Structure 1
Amino acid sequence: MTSTGQEKTMDADLDFNGKTILVTGSGRNIGRAIISEFASRGANVVINARDTETDREEAEAVRAEAEKHGVGALVVLGNAADRATVERLRTESERAFTRVDMYVSNAMHRMYRESFFDTTDDDWNYYLNQQLTASWYLAKAFVPGMQDAGWGRIIHMNGPNAWTGSWAAIPIASGKAGLHALTKSLASGLSQYGITVNDVNPGYVDVVRDSGLDDSAGMRERAAQAMAIKRVISPEEIAWTCAYLCSPRSGAVTGTVIDVDGGRPAAH
């Protein structure tokens, strides 16, 4: 079947040749799927994971997979909640690719289930830093380059707890709520420079988890049944959403939330 002119235009809109994307927490799961999606569409990729032996091996596997598409791929290890790590992400990315055009703040956190009474100050600081402070550091590092270029895409991986709260995960819910406020605030000022800033809210995604908590007692099946689609979501479905948000067709979409939650009732 012959492609129509419209189909060719749509393909071109999702062609990221000559652009570079950074994804934190991209050694596995959602982050890995995003790297794979963008590499397959021609983007150079910057892969970030924690600096442990397992994380290092995973990140190198993602790099090898990306390079099969003929794109440049860089691995920078370290915690994105650490300012020094983010500075290394900036300097090494700019050395390899001149600038970062798009980034996804996706660094994952360990599972947490504690009530208010059992939540410590260390817990509070850890989760706010992982979600909110890390995204602030990324913005400070990479927005100036986007501003100079007159174009950029920022995506924050968020979640429904930002709107519903969570007695069993107060620091996480608070960090996510703050992250959405950061999204709205950045979007309000950066749109004039051709930079969009959005949240993506995944539902229950089929990922490898460090803790077995979410997989116990049929949690996976219960989560699937709570969604209209009656199945869990694939990491690739999150990655496709990110590709749209980074395309020219999404230029009027900023400061908002895209739910990829399988049809659960909206929390906002």
Structure 2
Amino acid sequence: MKYEQPQPGLKWLTIQSLEQCRENVTIDSGSFDPLFFLFFFRSGFATLLLPDNAVSPAPESLFWLEPQTKFTIENAEKNSGYYLMLHKPLQEAIAYDPALIYHPHFRDLFLPKQLIQVKLSQQLRINSLLNSIYEEETHGHLFKEEILQGYFKILLLTILKQLEENSILEEHDNKLAKKFQQLLEKSFRSKKFVAEYAEALMVGPTYLNTVVKKATGHSASYHIKQRIVLEAKRKAVYTNMCMKEIAFDLGFTDLTHFSKYFKAATGINFSAFIQKTYGHALAVE
């Protein structure tokens, strides 16, 4: 199904329910005036086919695109949500409202592609606003343009609030990841499990793993293992300590456990590492 360009002067906004997108919808904005595309995926498995890649937004997410973008909403079942298009510049659509234009995250609305998760507290509100816009655009008559503009401004303010909350959360998560790294450096000899670090940092183990992985590319458990193994290698290379002494120094009371731990993290056992490094096995006392 091909999207038809609205006639100039008749519309400044078009909204479509994703429930009606059971066939592929292709939109080419190359000949349009500057536009703003906004998608709200409440549920389903819709895929946006863009010129450079494909995006499959998770449920309860917002996604918007820069003007002059050709894309296809790929055929998907059980889609729920809306896509909304402006047929004039965003600033003009909001009547240059200072409350919006001078919001610290207003510029984020002009990023080439933006995908944000929507908190549960905002999902129903955003869906309700888009539903109101849809009903007004479809059936409204008296003061239709003024009502649409009012709904649209509230929608943007709600999105900007979500961006602000996400920014605060991201800052908090970055600080948490740094605190974990600092604590790891101090406590890797005594703390071997994510749960121990999570308890010290007053968060849940799963959350800590997620935050650290987002910040570094690896989970907290990975960093714990790698820090312990790195110290074991340093001790083996730069000291005269035997395997038993190194294991004890790193908080292992069971030599077999240490050997298995080392091998699980590196792929080779400790003695093989020494032999590979020096050409002879380290004595085990």
Q: Report TM bin, short chain.
A: under 0.3
Normalised to the residue count of structure 2, the TM-score between the two structures is 0.22
Which is bigger in relative contact order (C-alpha 8 A, separation at least 6)? 1
Normalised to the residue count of structure 1, the TM-score between the two structures is 0.23
Larger radius of gyration: 2
